[in-house]
Structure 1
Amino acid sequence: MFGPKAWIWATIVVPALAAKASLNLGNGFDLTVDKDSNHLSIARGNSSIWETVAGKPFLSASSGVDEVVGASGAFNITDVDNDKCTDQHIRRVTQSAWSGSVNDKAAIVEGTLSGCGDESVDFKFAVWVPAELSDRIAFHIDVKPGSSKDAATKLFLTYASSKSEDFYGLGGQGSFASMKNQSVPIFSREQGVGRGDQPTTDLENADSYFSGGDQFTTYSAVPQYISSLARVFHLAEESTAYTKFDFKDLKAVTVRYAARSVDGYIIQAENMLDGITKLTEYTGRMAELPRWVDTGAVLGIQGGQTKVNRIVDQGLKQDCPIAAVWLQDWSGTHSQSVSYMSLTVSRLWWNWESDEKLYPTWKKFVQELRDQHNVRTLSYINPFLANVSTKPDGYRRDLFLEASEKGYMIQNATTNDTSIVSSGPGIDAGIVDLTNPAARSWFRDVLIDQVFSANVSGYMCDFGEYTPVTKDTRFYNKSIDPMFYHNQYPRDWPKLHHSLTKSVSSFKESILFQRSSALGSQRYMNLYWAGDQNTNWGLNDGIKSSITVMGHMGLSGFAHGHVEIGGYTTTWLESGVVNRTAELLGRWGELSAVSSAVFRSHEGNVPQLNAQFYSNSTTYAYYAYNARMFRSLATYRRRILDTESKNLGWPLLRMPVIYHPNDVKAKSISYESFYLGADLYVAPVVDSGRTSVEVYLPGKETFTHVWSGKKYEGGQTVRVAAPYGKPAVFVVGKPQHNDLKDFLEFARKENGTVIRV
């Protein structure tokens, strides 16, 4: 959007300024420089926007190459900082002509970095007010490598913070509320199984390298934050190298960037919601969700036409509003044996055509569901192409072979062949090379001819974070560095699907939901989901983490999110099996009803070990009840999505800190409670065996409990009953809109309903 290509050095330079000077950047912004103390500050009028830390270098550099180990998305990164240049000297400060700035000028701070051996390296730090977004500061940093064998390879930007400033966003962070005291890597990858929850994480890591992940592994790593002081910091879209945000110093922030040149933006917003608006003015905002998603559940089912028809019929008899079925196995499944109880699990064939065994009349079947029940169909896609030469029931097209012959997949220079990703025994696949225009065009045609031709209403756009980073990785665009492109692929992947807008007449009525994201991905998406959680109550990788992920994604500019009801990952380890109970499934359904833009379930990776919504009449009744609760909020949700999300970028689910940035308790809430829009406050049940919840009510508003009608004043912690089907939901104050009527009527009507598990 506004990248390094716009930065044009001019030949006209204002003479170097004195030791202490103030430079007008335009639109009320001023940069003050004290050369002797290496201190910079930016203000707008009497308000400080950004400043460096007295006594510390604001720029430093280091040598060394970071170590990235792992495969199949499970990347473990070790930072390598050898000689670190921490002695900074400002040589001169100038004001230069600068294309793209509001006053055609930029302030340029130049100097040297030393202390890393015999050699010093030069740096330039430019700041200006961009003409197209004139309410913020843009910056560009360039560090020269030097001529020694231990040349600088990365840079560090350090600036002031305060003890009271807390940090949110940074993509799909699932373990913490504020990121204060943490060091957060920005590198999209498999989030792992466990992410710190024990003993699962250690057992998974012992079984397969780093497959358990840690508290910072995430599918969606976004180089930005919004602080409790309404400060917004983000990199430019083109700055995609591995980055780390270090918030461990209580009075400073350090951004470590694994390259010598970086661009970014600094914003002082009026409040955190305004910060989201300003961020999304740069990144773009999510596209509109079709209205059919408001009408009921998206049933996640596998097993073929007969099973799907049976479950849909059963649901209609259970008074379950059904908007769609999501059939991820539409392309067929491959059986794999596991060690636990001689189980066989099914993995998908990544060859994007309907499977004639499971769905023998696929197009007709999709249309009949629509015609007979007004139930839409969603399918599944990812960027992999599987080698189907061993597929026992045959295939019509071999997409892996087609792409191999045309060079449409990412290559490995060592093998001089396709870079292979394994999905367990029997399935090897390549990744579509999105740097290749011909490959993009070919894959678009596959989606048009083999997916949308069946009149589906969208699909899961899975993965996007597996791009290899080894030195022998080769792309069609040979100038691309694998470590730089890795964080770009999660933006190119939804961009590919978004390019179908003009080719598919039903595209605007479709949902295409992603799990991996990058800065700017949202402009190509209309829905994300919080990723694959374990089928348990865990903090770092269970039901609790799905709420935390959605909270931070909202503060990263992603407005439309949803949880995957019931979780996905069932594990079988030495400590026993971790599978989904009926209670967990029901409580997760409650959470979805009062948190998400779409109500969608998943059978999980081992369906036969998990409670399913269709397991029996009791589980289906609970699911149907939750789907009706979701439907009752349709008018309220739609008003938020069509106004606040569309026009301002505001998320549906909002962390309490957004409205209470000075409240210490609110700042530390990650999963315990959240706002749905501005008028509802929710405290879901996320622990087994609980029939009540203790919830902190922030602020000074009156909170009215929807099930009992009891009113509570803000600023206190209360305990309310929360039996099955009755998550703690409060109306906040006196809403200005009359769009909670259906939900309140649902609460009145269903107040006496007894839900069982």
Structure 2
Amino acid sequence: MMLKLLQCSLLTLLYTQDSAASPEQSSSVALDGEYTLSWLQDSLVITEGDTTVWSTVPGKPFIGASAGNDSFPGSNGAFNITQVDIDRCTDQSISSVQSVPWDGTVTGSAGQVKGQLLSCGTGSAEFELTFWISANLTDQVAFYLNIIQQSGSATPLKKLYFSFASTANEDIYGLGAQASFASLKSQSIPVFSREQGVGRGDQPITGILNQNGSFAGGDKFTTYTAVASYITTEGRMFSLSEKSTGYVNFDFTEPDTVTFRYDSLSVDGAFAKAGDMFGAVERLTALTGRMPQLPKWVDNGAILGIQGGQSKVEEIVLHGLNVSCPIAGVWLQDWVGTHSQAGPYINVSRLWWNWENDQQLYPAWPAFVQGLRDQYNVRTLSYVNTFLANVSTKPDGFERNLYAQADKAAYFVQNTTTNSTAIISSGPGLDAGIIDLTNPGLRSWFSQVLKEQVWGANISGYMSDFGEYTPVTSDTRLYDLVSDAFFAHDEYPLLWAQYQRQTIEELGLENEALVFHRSAATGANQYMNLFWVGDQNLDWGVNDGIKSVVTIMLHMGLSGYAHQHSDVGGYTDTLTYSNYNVTRSAELLGRWGELAAVSSSVFRSHEGNIPSVNAQFYSNDTTYQYYAYNARMFVALAPYRRLILETECATKGWPLLRPPVMYHPQDLKARQISYQSFYLGPDVYVAPVLDAGVQAVSVYLPGGSNSTFEHVWTGQVYEGGQDITVSAPYGKPAVFLVNGTQRAELKSFTNFVHLENGTKLSIA
């Protein structure tokens, strides 16, 4: 060890003494006893023993920068990004590779590469690229890249580029809630938290919503999350740190190169090389954190999404119990009351964001919540978001106008042009402010609001909505003036999750509370025990319908978010003047329930944004029986699901839902599977029904002849490495037990299959 360090120090000394040393000259720096940074003639290489962990592409520049201001015009959470690059540097030189003192490392030092960026228009710049092994994460390499602006350029540099080697056959997964791709290889992916849009490329709805310059329909790259981490089929992990919250774009379009473009002149993160994709996820979550455990009560049944007030809720709960629907809870987002807004053909109901119970719908709120729990063992979930709405026009009045109080105290994100609250409009009659989580006064005040007015009713959790709306305009100001609005935007989902978790821990509700988010950021997973995939269209679409749910969960799982779920039935109705409407059918509702039963860690339904035009689980006995059946299937899988959550998700960060490529990284067909099939833990393989009118599914069984798949409904056993077609009537998604598993925790599921195999379900 000492000899190796001495040799590396001598090499570094020889190299750095000659400031004009040729880039062809080799030099090495020991990062610790195992990792070494080397300059080998025309590339940087980091090795762990004899294994190459990371390298640049030989003969190609790996650091760059450019001038120009990117554009982020936005309205109500929908941002349209235009990248602007002026005077991009096209060349570089290396001046030294040396050891430098560095805090927090194994050795007290780091390896640093210094050089110049050349041909940046009329100017140039210096860069420092530093690598080290953290004392608390010794199986990965941390890095920090800093570019120092030099004089001589007419336009200052604003952003950096960092490139490193990939391979043509390396597939890439992660980067948060990606809904439209299996592997991300060959794509260029922007990472920025925003409304995902309505349609996201599914037509004609996307085109209708994006008419006249609007971006409400989004595209294949719009997502609620800003998670800058990924893993690959070669067991590689890469992640920016939770402090690097600027806009970033990952370009995977070159076969041999990954390039990320970061909208600042400094960035940090880490990377690693594990033996397989499971090891890569484990190292990623060691860095970013792992999700807290889900409360065990969620295993007991469905969480019924209902609106309409106390009498309606209790009636629907009783109906469910009468049709043998296991019910764990109710989710009542309208507990704060509703506000009617005009829409095409029909009025739309919106919520009053004031975080107190509505006196018309829920006049006895605390007693009602407790009564459901005492009489039926049914917990209650409510709804909270990052806004406070002005309720001065609320017809049935209010106890406290939280908006007025926060506005007076300047607790909202501010607009410097108007010198007042930055208003977010959510349609006519509903103006709101975004709470400023950098303001300690707001944090203290709003914590008391949550504890007294939300948690005080003995609820068991809530949807923790939004997090992606913070403006990025130059006249946006936060209390913490150090927090530039541009960087605060993608940090906000992290702050929101962290803030909610802190409140839960202060109340001692870690084992009871279920708080689910749709916005996310790098590192936010360590503060949320459930991710929710957001608002999908009530259709069968690939980019924004039921199919997108599976793809999102698979990529989020490989981004460190181990337990997730979707709204059973979807959310987004669209009624247009273009003779095209999106509403929910009973068939879609039933099939979505099947999907949730065999994929999600929580089974929760949603009425949709226009409940009156949708099939609901409680619409009639037929829809409720189908829903109850799916809830029973979910409960039957609970012992197995809980085992995986406790032994693999919690301890290793592995996702509950796994793409086939995780187990079969060399199977080229498995690499291209997105929504078509997945593993639930290691022992269950599923091909859900995700198209209308389908009573049989074709499914690829990965792995080859050394893998077996037993179809649970027929008992037939198939070998891997082939495409098969199996019957899939209502209630019978294609579910297989893998490799003859005899796991005891699956006994309740096989009992369910035996008891329910003859059950006939209908959508009529």
TM-score scaled by structure 1? 0.97
* Structure-2 residue corresponding to 1:6: none
Please report how far the alpha carbon of residue 208 of structure 1 lies from its aligned counterpart in structure 2 after TM superposition: 6.8
1:470 to 470, 473, 487: 473
In the alignment, is residue 755 of structure 1 matched against residue 761 of structure 2? yes
Letter of the 1:331 counterpart: V
Please report how far the alpha carbon of residue 701 of structure 1 lies from its aligned counterpart in structure 2 after TM superposition: 1.1
* Structure-2 residue corresponding to 1:707: 713
SS at match of 1:740: helix
* Structural mapping, 1:196-215, within 5 Å: 196-206=201-211, 209-215=214-220
In the alignment, is residue 381 of structure 1 matched against residue 384 of structure 2? yes
Residue by residue, what CA displacement relative to the aligned partner does 1:687-725 show, whole Å, maximum 9, x if unpaired? 000000000000131100000000000011100000000
* Structure-2 residue corresponding to 1:288: 293
In the alignment, is residue 427 of structure 1 matched against residue 430 of structure 2? yes
* Structure-2 residue corresponding to 1:255: 260
Please report how far the alpha carbon of residue 117 of structure 1 lies from its aligned counterpart in structure 2 after TM superposition: 2.0
The percentage of counterpart residues that share the same residue type is 56
* Structure-1 residue corresponding to 2:6: none
> Following the alignment from structure 1 to structure 2, what is the Cα–Cα distance between the partners of residues 575 and 141?
53
1:68 to 35, 48, 72: 72
Please report how far the alpha carbon of residue 237 of structure 1 lies from its aligned counterpart in structure 2 after TM superposition: 1.1
In the alignment, is residue 193 of structure 1 matched against residue 211 of structure 2? no
Contact 2:29–2:97 under 8 Å retained in 1: no
Please report how far the alpha carbon of residue 507 of structure 1 lies from its aligned counterpart in structure 2 after TM superposition: 4.3
* Structure-1 residue corresponding to 2:648: 644
Letter of the 1:635 counterpart: P
SS at match of 1:129: strand
In the alignment, is residue 276 of structure 1 matched against residue 281 of structure 2? yes
* Structure-1 residue corresponding to 2:81: 77
Contact 1:188–1:465 under 8 Å retained in 2: yes
1:696 to 686, 696, 700: 700
> Following the alignment from structure 2 to structure 1, what is the Cα–Cα distance between the partners of residues 203 and 13?
60
Contact 1:15–1:94 under 8 Å retained in 2: no
SS at match of 1:512: strand
In the alignment, is residue 118 of structure 1 matched against residue 122 of structure 2? yes
Please report how far the alpha carbon of residue 232 of structure 1 lies from its aligned counterpart in structure 2 after TM superposition: 0.4
* Structure-1 residue corresponding to 2:491: 488
* Structural mapping, 1:168-183, within 5 Å: 168-183=173-188
In the alignment, is residue 737 of structure 1 matched against residue 743 of structure 2? yes
* Structure-1 residue corresponding to 2:93: 89
> Following the alignment from structure 2 to structure 1, what is the Cα–Cα distance between the partners of residues 649 and 505?
24
SS at match of 1:154: strand
Residue by residue, what CA displacement relative to the aligned partner does 1:643-680 show, whole Å, maximum 9, x if unpaired? 11111111110011111111110000000000000000
* Structure-2 residue corresponding to 1:5: none
> Following the alignment from structure 1 to structure 2, what is the Cα–Cα distance between the partners of residues 675 and 252?
30
* Structural mapping, 1:501-540, within 5 Å: 501-540=504-543
Deviates more, 1:504-513 or 1:137-146: 504-513
Contact 1:14–1:95 under 8 Å retained in 2: no
Moved >6 Å (runs of 4+): none
* Structure-1 residue corresponding to 2:47: 43
* Structure-2 residue corresponding to 1:660: 664
Contact 1:27–1:129 under 8 Å retained in 2: no
* Structure-1 residue corresponding to 2:546: 543
* Structure-2 residue corresponding to 1:165: 170
In the alignment, is residue 337 of structure 1 matched against residue 337 of structure 2? no
Residue by residue, what CA displacement relative to the aligned partner does 1:553-600 show, whole Å, maximum 9, x if unpaired? 000000110111000001112142111000000000000000000000
> Following the alignment from structure 1 to structure 2, what is the Cα–Cα distance between the partners of residues 752 and 14?
78
Task: Give ranges in structure 1 of 5+ residues lacking alignment.
Answer: 1-12
Please report how far the alpha carbon of residue 274 of structure 1 lies from its aligned counterpart in structure 2 after TM superposition: 1.1
> Following the alignment from structure 2 to structure 1, what is the Cα–Cα distance between the partners of residues 551 and 306?
26
> Following the alignment from structure 2 to structure 1, what is the Cα–Cα distance between the partners of residues 150 and 379?
60
* Structure-2 residue corresponding to 1:244: 249
Please report how far the alpha carbon of residue 146 of structure 1 lies from its aligned counterpart in structure 2 after TM superposition: 2.4
> Following the alignment from structure 1 to structure 2, what is the Cα–Cα distance between the partners of residues 272 and 409?
42
* Structure-2 residue corresponding to 1:9: none
> Following the alignment from structure 2 to structure 1, what is the Cα–Cα distance between the partners of residues 746 and 641?
9
In the alignment, is residue 679 of structure 1 matched against residue 707 of structure 2? no
SS at match of 2:294: coil
Please report how far the alpha carbon of residue 91 of structure 1 lies from its aligned counterpart in structure 2 after TM superposition: 1.3
Please report how far the alpha carbon of residue 90 of structure 1 lies from its aligned counterpart in structure 2 after TM superposition: 0.5
SS at match of 1:486: helix
Contact 1:199–1:575 under 8 Å retained in 2: no
* Structure-1 residue corresponding to 2:729: 723
Residue by residue, what CA displacement relative to the aligned partner does 1:302-358 show, whole Å, maximum 9, x if unpaired? 010111011111111111000000000000000011122xx1110000001000010
* Structure-2 residue corresponding to 1:608: 612
Contact 1:14–1:96 under 8 Å retained in 2: no
Contact 1:655–1:670 under 8 Å retained in 2: yes
> Following the alignment from structure 2 to structure 1, what is the Cα–Cα distance between the partners of residues 501 and 213?
35
Residue by residue, what CA displacement relative to the aligned partner does 1:148-179 show, whole Å, maximum 9, x if unpaired? 33111111011111110010010010000100
Letter of the 1:33 counterpart: W
Residue by residue, what CA displacement relative to the aligned partner does 1:18-66 show, whole Å, maximum 9, x if unpaired? 62112211131111104x63x1111111111111112210101100110
* Structure-2 residue corresponding to 1:396: 399
Letter of the 2:278 counterpart: L
* Structural mapping, 1:212-223, within 5 Å: 212-223=217-228
Deviates more, 1:572-581 or 1:241-250: 572-581
* Structure-1 residue corresponding to 2:232: 227
Q: 1:338 to 1:349 in 2, by over 3 A?
A: same
SS at match of 2:279: helix
SS at match of 1:346: strand
* Structure-2 residue corresponding to 1:361: 364
Contact 1:537–1:688 under 8 Å retained in 2: yes
Please report how far the alpha carbon of residue 512 of structure 1 lies from its aligned counterpart in structure 2 after TM superposition: 0.2
Please report how far the alpha carbon of residue 131 of structure 1 lies from its aligned counterpart in structure 2 after TM superposition: 1.4
Letter of the 2:263 counterpart: A
Q: 1:49 to 1:505 in 2, by over 3 A?
A: closer
> Following the alignment from structure 2 to structure 1, what is the Cα–Cα distance between the partners of residues 640 and 343?
45
Please report how far the alpha carbon of residue 480 of structure 1 lies from its aligned counterpart in structure 2 after TM superposition: 1.3
Residue by residue, what CA displacement relative to the aligned partner does 1:609-628 show, whole Å, maximum 9, x if unpaired? 11000011100000000000
Q: 1:724 to 1:208 in 2, by over 3 A?
A: farther
> Following the alignment from structure 1 to structure 2, what is the Cα–Cα distance between the partners of residues 569 and 537?
12
Contact 1:205–1:211 under 8 Å retained in 2: yes
Please report how far the alpha carbon of residue 136 of structure 1 lies from its aligned counterpart in structure 2 after TM superposition: 1.0
> Following the alignment from structure 2 to structure 1, what is the Cα–Cα distance between the partners of residues 609 and 392?
24
Q: 1:302 to 1:207 in 2, by over 3 A?
A: farther
* Structure-2 residue corresponding to 1:552: 555
> Following the alignment from structure 1 to structure 2, what is the Cα–Cα distance between the partners of residues 170 and 339?
36
> Following the alignment from structure 1 to structure 2, what is the Cα–Cα distance between the partners of residues 575 and 661?
45
SS at match of 2:227: strand
SS at match of 2:228: strand
* Structure-2 residue corresponding to 1:26: 32
Residue by residue, what CA displacement relative to the aligned partner does 1:56-91 show, whole Å, maximum 9, x if unpaired? 101011001100111211001000011101210011
Please report how far the alpha carbon of residue 118 of structure 1 lies from its aligned counterpart in structure 2 after TM superposition: 2.2
Contact 2:28–2:97 under 8 Å retained in 1: no
* Structure-1 residue corresponding to 2:9: none
Contact 1:70–1:209 under 8 Å retained in 2: no
> Following the alignment from structure 1 to structure 2, what is the Cα–Cα distance between the partners of residues 372 and 601?
22
> Following the alignment from structure 2 to structure 1, what is the Cα–Cα distance between the partners of residues 741 and 526?
30
Please report how far the alpha carbon of residue 92 of structure 1 lies from its aligned counterpart in structure 2 after TM superposition: 1.6
SS at match of 2:441: helix
Letter of the 1:32 counterpart: S
> Following the alignment from structure 1 to structure 2, what is the Cα–Cα distance between the partners of residues 366 and 275?
43
* Structure-1 residue corresponding to 2:310: 305
Contact 2:391–2:401 under 8 Å retained in 1: yes
Letter of the 2:69 counterpart: V
> Following the alignment from structure 2 to structure 1, what is the Cα–Cα distance between the partners of residues 562 and 33?
30
Letter of the 2:175 counterpart: L
* Structure-2 residue corresponding to 1:618: 622
Deviates more, 1:535-544 or 1:47-56: 47-56
Contact 1:299–1:600 under 8 Å retained in 2: yes
* Structure-1 residue corresponding to 2:572: 569
Letter of the 2:272 counterpart: I
